[in-house]
Amino acid sequence: MRTLSKDLKAAVGKKVSIEGWLHKKRLLGGLTFINVRDRGGLTQVVIKDKDEVEKLRGLQIGTVLRVAGTAKDEPRAPGGVELHDASLEILVPVTEEPPIEIDKPLSHKPENLDTLFDHRVLGLRNLQETSIFRIRSELLRYIREFLYKNDFVEINTPKLVAGAAEGGAEVFKLDYFGKEATLAQSPQLYKQIMVGVFERVFEIAPAFRAELSATTRHVSEVTMLDIEMGFIKDHNDVLNMLQDLVYDVLVRVYKEHDEELKSLHAPELVLKPEFPRYPMADIHKMFTEATGKDTTKELDLTPEEEKWICEYAKEKEGCEAVFATGLPIEKMKFYHMAEDDKTARSADLLFRGVEISTVPQREHRHENLVEQMKKAGVDPNSPGFAHYVAAFKHGLPPHGGCGFGIDRLTEKVIGLANIKEAILFPRDINRLSP
Amino acid sequence: MRTLSKDLKAAVGKKVSIEGWLHKKRLLGGLTFINVRDRGGLTQVVIKDKDEVEKLRGLQIGTVLRVAGTAKDEPRAPGGVELHDASLEILVPVTEEPPIEIDKPLSHKPENLDTLFDHRVLGLRNLQETSIFRIRSELLRYIREFLYKNDFVEINTPKLVAGAAEGGAEVFKLDYFGKEATLAQSPQLYKQIMVGVFERVFEIAPAFRAELSATTRHVSEVTMLDIEMGFIKDHNDVLNMLQDLVYDVLVRVYKEHDEELKSLHAPELVLKPEFPRYPMADIHKMFTEATGKDTTKELDLTPEEEKWICEYAKEKEGCEAVFATGLPIEKMKFYHMAEDDKTARSADLLFRGVEISTVPQREHRHENLVEQMKKAGVDPNSPGFAHYVAAFKHGLPPHGGCGFGIDRLTEKVIGLANIKEAILFPRDINRLSP
């Protein structure tokens, strides 16, 4: 029977057997200490017996082994427990030294990111990296659990589509049995269609963007959460749902993964169940007054304003998530609904200084939609749009939704500097492997 | 306050308000009956008042409306309850007749599938179709819950990859900023790499196959569940895990969605916690004896044998899921592990007459793997494989895994005839929309 590192504390005084990777090896006062990594963490093993020490000769970090021994309390060891009287069995010998040292935190400095990703396959075995992606997996789980509880149905929509779904942004194109297909940038059209079926739907899936920019913010493949809900009064219903979701998920991850978040130096969470809501025009005024930099002529929030308003709300309201309401009509997309001739029924969710999601009501009235499409230069009868428009012609209720990147959320929760650090195997203009 | 159809029974005697789609309209004995569909099902509404009836003039199925009325017991109505003294408010008028009748089951006959998919956007509003995709969503939920309970971590691996991951089968290619990228056929290599990080991982994501065949079995985009687990004794550990997963998920869906499965004419579930296991060579013999058709020279099971052995086990063992063990070495892939020079450490899971999944142990020893790759004509140093091989060079424990299509599972659970019927918006050689 195999015992996991995390369960060793409960086995103190007993003979146990662990299995894992040789993670670290050192000599101290004539004794050999090794750390063994398994999915439950690290176990420190003390090896006295010369024959046992001999088994490790020439073996490198990564060697897979089984260790039998007695669990003893040891406050200085990881988990407060240590294995004594160890006998070793080598399961998979590794003789080549790893190209990176994985037993201490890896550098995430901008100038070292290429090295980080070049050695991703091994680097992910580092405990800090493991924590990042365990937290990411938990965020996914909490999000789904919230959505299930609230009657949302999970959908899988196609990623190979005819024509660029939302138009505008760069898309990847490919030959699809002689036709041209594009890789879906988002499930926008499909999730709206599906409101006509289930009212409330969500999808968590890859989305593809052929962004030519090579900044820290741009990756060409992201994991998107997409949500859409029908029978709303206006976009405030969606805002409220998203606020509840984000509050629920963030509070839970800080509660259940407190230790891991601390070890990653994640910022403390400052959140209230009701996020402050500021009209965008007010933010421009507040920012201008506070900083002396005039942004009152801006349409959208500037990156500087996004940071500022989150800091402001954190300090004044005790909440680092805010909604910026009243998106100027000039920034409205064809599938959004106008509030009046100045603003759209839409708000941005900002968290820790960046926009996480845009939360609009959709234009659900067939005639208005077709008109807005034409104005935007989108052909309602084209193969990419004809079916979408049909859903409206045959009745879609008032609805709205939002989408946000799981990568971005993970980045901001943990306080990483670059979205790519929150992606197992990131893709950008220069990187297609590993 | 809006009441959902499914909650109406609890509101008998009360004034309530429902919102949904006009799903059916008929006149009977001077009264107007309408069915209103919402995410909770159907509500039958009786309209007496002439002014209220007048509001529906010229309006078609799909019209979105609010109905206020009094809930009354009515055994002949859906859900055993009906709305009386109805007053209507039209939220979104629909004046165009739908191109298909969605208030009765849609034809899934092979010759009508194109019609089914051409009108998918509206057809999905049919209650039978809704049930199919609600069950699919539940299968996803149950699978994830089982895997979370068993310490599996969810991963998201890239779908844009360098080179064809597994080689062989047809792949979609695209231009990736001047390089050639392919769309991932499976996360095979990445999930094995991730065993080195989390030991147990899973992913549910789209996979892409440029299959030139236009049979009912071929779609070019599927939703795959992929599982991989480390520190196994041999492939039987994976078989046991998969057996527990499938048993747990199927029993649960039949328990919690009994009514919907019955309305879809799904076959009754005949399952035991331990699935019978037959060596493939024995199946050939048993089949040959039973039918007089000699299959003892076959390597793999023939489609006829797959059907036969499932029927056989269902009848003799009370279990319609079986494992066919001892895959002939000739069918082994380079990343599988050989048992001896005749068979691979692998088994097929068959359910209701078809192969659902192949469940092998992987070759985890670096040298053996490289040798098997070379034999298979795969270059271990190519961009698509170098990182994969590095994971082995630096220590991967004995591991194994499996993958199966969520589409196929949904198809077989419900008893559909074609995998495409279990996909919201299927993609094949001829179909790229809706």
pLDDT in tens, A38-70: 999 999 999 999 999 999 999 999 999 999 999
* Max Cα-Cα span within chain B: 83
Residues in chain B within 8 Å Cβ distance of A91:
397-398
Yes or no, beta carbons of A433 and B383 under 8 Å apart: yes
The residue written with tokens 């998107």 in the block is A224
User: Radius of gyration of chain B from Cα atoms?
Assistant: 26
Out of A17-21, A105-109, B227-231, pick the least confident.
Answer: A105-109
Nearest CB neighbour to B231, from listed A2, A175, A220: A2
Residues in chain A within 8 Å Cβ distance of B120:
387
Please state, in angstroms and as integers, the Cα–Cα distance from residue A434 to each residue in A83, A117, B298, B382, B389, following that order: 36, 8, 39, 11, 11
Yes or no, beta carbons of B155 and A137 under 8 Å apart: yes
- Report whether pLDDT(B21) > 80: yes
- Report whether pLDDT(B283) > 70: yes
Structure tokens at B344: 């691979």
Which residues, 6 or more positions from B183, have their beta carbon under 8 angstroms from its beta carbon? Answer: A174, A183, B159, B160, B161, B171, B172, B173, B174, B208
The chain B residue lying nearest A395, using CA atoms, is B62
Residues in chain B within 8 Å Cβ distance of A94:
393-395
Nearest CB neighbour to B395, from listed A62, A161, A430: A62
Instruction: Tell me the pLDDT of chain A averaged across its residues.
Output: 95
Instruction: Supply the pLDDT for residue B30.
Output: 83
Nearest partner of B427 among B194, B251, B183, judged by Cα: B183
User: Region B371-399: what's the mean pLDDT?
Assistant: 94
In angstroms, the CA B156 to CA A206 distance is: 8
User: Radius of gyration of chain A from Cα atoms?
Assistant: 26
| DSSP secondary structure letters along A193-241 | HHHHHHSEEEEEEEEE------STT--SEEEEEEEEEES-SSHHHHHHH
- Report whether pLDDT(B165) > 60: no
**Which pLDDT tens digit goes with each residue over A337-349?**
999 999 999 999 9
E-only strand ranges, B209-342: 221-230, 277-279, 321-328
**Which pLDDT tens digit goes with each residue over B184-194?**
999 999 999 99
In angstroms, the CA A388 to CA B276 distance is: 47
Instruction: Supply the pLDDT for residue B296.
Output: 95
Nearest CB neighbour to B429, from listed A177, A394, A433: A177
Residues in chain A within 8 Å Cβ distance of B19:
231, 397
**Which pLDDT tens digit goes with each residue over A157-210?**
999 998 765 555 689 999 999 999 999 999 999 999 999 999 999 999 999 999
* DSSP 8-state assignment for residue A376: T
Q: What is the ipTM of this complex?
A: 0.96
| Selected residue of B59, B212, B225, B394 to mutate for chain A interface (largest A Cβ count, 10 A) | B394
Instruction: Supply the pLDDT for residue B141.
Output: 98
Nearest CB neighbour to B433, from listed A120, A172, A383: A383
**Which pLDDT tens digit goes with each residue over B192-216?**
999 999 999 999 999 999 977 766 6
**Which pLDDT tens digit goes with each residue over B320-329?**
999 999 999 9
Q: Is B279 exposed, middle or buried (0-12, 13-18, 19+ CB in 10 A)?
A: middle
The chain A residue lying nearest B222, using CA atoms, is A158
Could you give the residue range(s) of every CATH 2.40.50.140 domain in chain A? 5-92
- Give chain A's end-to-end CA distance (angstroms, integer): 35
Q: How many CB atoms lie within 10 A of CB A266?
A: 21
Torsion angle of C-alpha atoms B333, B240, A93, B367, degrees rounded to 10 = -10
In angstroms, the CA B416 to CA B399 distance is: 34
Yes or no, beta carbons of B157 and A424 under 8 Å apart: yes
Residues in chain A within 8 Å Cβ distance of B63:
395
**Angle ∠(A106,A111,A117) on CA atoms, nearest 5:** 55
* Max Cα-Cα span within chain A: 83
SS3 state of residue A392: helix
Nearest CB neighbour to B196, from listed A125, A220, A395: A125
Determine phi and psi for A220, rounding to 5 degrees.
-95, -10
Nearest-neighbour CA in chain A from B180: distance (Å)? 9
AA identity, residue A93? P
Yes or no, beta carbons of B94 and A394 under 8 Å apart: yes
In angstroms, the CA B207 to CA B223 distance is: 6
User: Check: CATH 2.40.100.10 for A5-92?
Assistant: no
Nearest-neighbour CA in chain A from B355: distance (Å)? 23
Could you give the residue range(s) of every CATH 3.30.930.10 domain in chain A? 127-422
Which residues, 6 or more positions from B57, have their beta carbon under 8 angstroms from its beta carbon? Answer: none
- Report whether pLDDT(B167) > 70: no
- Report whether pLDDT(B94) > 70: yes
User: Check: CATH 3.30.930.10 for B127-422?
Assistant: yes
User: Region B280-296: what's the mean pLDDT?
Assistant: 97
**Which pLDDT tens digit goes with each residue over A291-319?**
999 999 999 999 999 999 999 999 999 99
> Are A278 and A326 in contact, with CB atoms under 8 Å apart?
no
Q: How many CB atoms lie within 10 A of CB B97?
A: 11
